[in-house]
Structure formats: C-alpha cells, structure tokens
Amino acid sequence: MISPIQKNKIKKSIIDKFNKIFQNNSIDLLKKSKKSDNTIVTEIDIFVSNLIKEELHKSSKFSFFSEEDHGELKYPSIILDPIDGTRELAKGLPECALSLAFMEDPSVSKGWGWIFNPFTGFDISSDNEFFISPNYKSEPLVGFVSRSEWEGGLFNNDESVSSIRFIPRGSIAFKLGLLACGACDFVLTKKPKNIWDIAAGTILCEKKGHYLFHKGKKVSLLDKSRFDGPLYWCREEHSSKIKDFFNFQ
C-alpha cells in the first residue's frame, strides 16, 4: 500500500499546490475548464491524479483507475477521485476531498482507503487505529445527504421527523469519511455513483461497522465502475429502518 514516506510526500505536494492557488484566501488563481460531459475539472484534479499516478502506479502491480484517467476497471486497482466535490472546490467551499483506494480484488473488506480534505486537514485512512464502540444511540438517526440532491428537490424538508434527520453536505467521499469517524449515523444518495466516488469511503466505513446498502441489500463487492442509486451506508441494524422510511423497493 502507501508507505508513510509516500503518503507524507503526496500530502505535502497537494498542500503546497493549494497554498499556491488559494493564497490570500482567494480562488481567483484556480484554473477551471469543462469536460465533454459539461462537468467542471480544475487544475488541482489533474495535478492530484498525475501526482498519485506517478508516485504509486509505476512502482506497483496495481492498475490505475481515476476520474481524470481511466479505461477499463481491472483488479488489483488503485481507484482515485483526485477531488470529489469539484463544484465546491471551484467555489472555495471546504466540502470536498481526495478519495484513494487500493483494492486487490472487488471485496470491500480487503481494501485500503484514504480520504483527505486539504481545506480542513480532515484525514482518515485504514491505517488509523480505532475501537468499535460497544454502544450506540438508536434514534434519532442523523444522516448526511447530498447537497445537490437536497437543493434539487429530491428530499423534502418535511421528511425529517423525530426518528430520522437529514443534513445536506457536499462530496460523497467527504460525507463517508465523516460517517467513518462517527460524525453521523448514515449517508444516503439517491443518484448513481461512480466507483471512484465511493471506493475509499466504503472501505473505511465497513471497517468501522457501517456497510453499503442498495435498496436494503448489503453490497460487499465493488465489481463495476458505476452503481445505481439509491445507495446508503449505515450500521446493519439501521438498514431496514432507512429502507422502510424512504420506501426503497
């Protein structure tokens, strides 16, 4: 996987890049362009993708599958979203994150994940030591949901009830990192997600006892490049409650 020396080198390079662009707390120097699908790509996305490919791919047996540089998904694989939440990044908002996974095969339980938010310093990886808490609260369940889906009307404000509450946040990778460190009880998206969006976060969450579900069925293999929604991550004992609340069939 990534050695501490490699990881620190990558983080320093990314932080140096951010320092150069976001000097004086401004986003004026950030170069942006449109991809063929009309989504935004920034110089940071391209920089991070090239940096990690250079540092990790050439010295390993892993293929490379990045949002900015991908072909066929093949295992073993390095799966990268250089910046998940590019729209937020382009606005200078801190709801974005690098999402990096190493997977020998499609099994989530065997993977290694790292999520890093350069704006906030939020940093969580499979290397972090932890203990699963023996107790947890049953309700209300607090869930982070997609900010774009929230603003697009896919959630109704009156859906939040005493037993389940929603908080909109940008970047699925960042939300999954927050779930893995205990900041909420579940993460939910109603739209499809690419594997680079969710690989690292799914690995980290599963290690902390929060599993990926699709319409109530646990997903233990990331064996395709795109996954249909709705998708949600939570403790196994909460899955039925979330499925029934949203009437996922």
Q: Which CATH number belongs to the domain containing residue 13 in this structure?
A: 3.30.540.10
Range in 14-28, 116-130, 154-168 the model is least confident about:
154-168
In this structure, the answer to whether residues 194 and 84 fall within a common structural domain is no
CATH number at residue 234: 3.40.190.80
Q: How high is the pLDDT of residue 61?
A: 87
C-alpha angle 222/36/65, rounded to 5°? 30
Q: How high is the pLDDT of residue 162?
A: 66
The answer to the question of residue 241 being in a domain is: yes
3-state secondary structure of 101: strand
Q: Which domain holds residue 197?
A: 141-246
In this structure, the answer to whether residues 166 and 69 fall within a common structural domain is no
Number of independent structural domains in the chain: 2
The answer to the question of residue 134 being in a domain is: no
The answer to the question of residue 136 being in a domain is: no
Considering only CA atoms, give the Rg of the chain: 18
Q: How high is the pLDDT of residue 181?
A: 94
Half-sphere exposure of residue 156: CA atoms within 13 angstroms, side-chain side: 5
Residues contacting residue 187 through CB under 8 Å, at least 6 positions apart: 143, 144, 145, 172, 175, 176, 178, 179, 201, 205, 232, 233, 234
The answer to the question of residue 214 being in a domain is: yes
In this structure, the answer to whether residues 156 and 209 fall within a common structural domain is yes
In this structure, the answer to whether residues 81 and 162 fall within a common structural domain is no
- Tokens representing 225 are 């490049």
| Percentage, residues of the chain above pLDDT 90 | 63
Mean pLDDT for 24-44 is 82
State how far the Cα of 176 lies from the Cα of 198, in Å rounded to an integer. Answer: 8
Does residue 158 register a pLDDT over 60? no
In this structure, the answer to whether residues 154 and 242 fall within a common structural domain is yes
pTM, rounded to two decimals: 0.93
Mean pLDDT for 164-184 is 94
The answer to the question of residue 130 being in a domain is: no
State how far the Cα of 42 lies from the Cα of 3, in Å rounded to an integer. Answer: 27
In this structure, the answer to whether residues 14 and 118 fall within a common structural domain is yes
DSSP state of 71: S
In this structure, the answer to whether residues 117 and 162 fall within a common structural domain is no
In this structure, the answer to whether residues 180 and 100 fall within a common structural domain is no
Tokens 């709801």 map to which residue?
95
The answer to the question of residue 86 being in a domain is: yes
The residue from 66, 91, 125 where one domain ends is 125
The residue from 76, 97, 125 where one domain ends is 125
Residue pair 235/221 in contact by the 8 Å Cβ criterion: no
Residue pair 77/63 in contact by the 8 Å Cβ criterion: yes
The answer to the question of residue 132 being in a domain is: no
The answer to the question of residue 158 being in a domain is: yes
In this structure, the answer to whether residues 60 and 93 fall within a common structural domain is yes
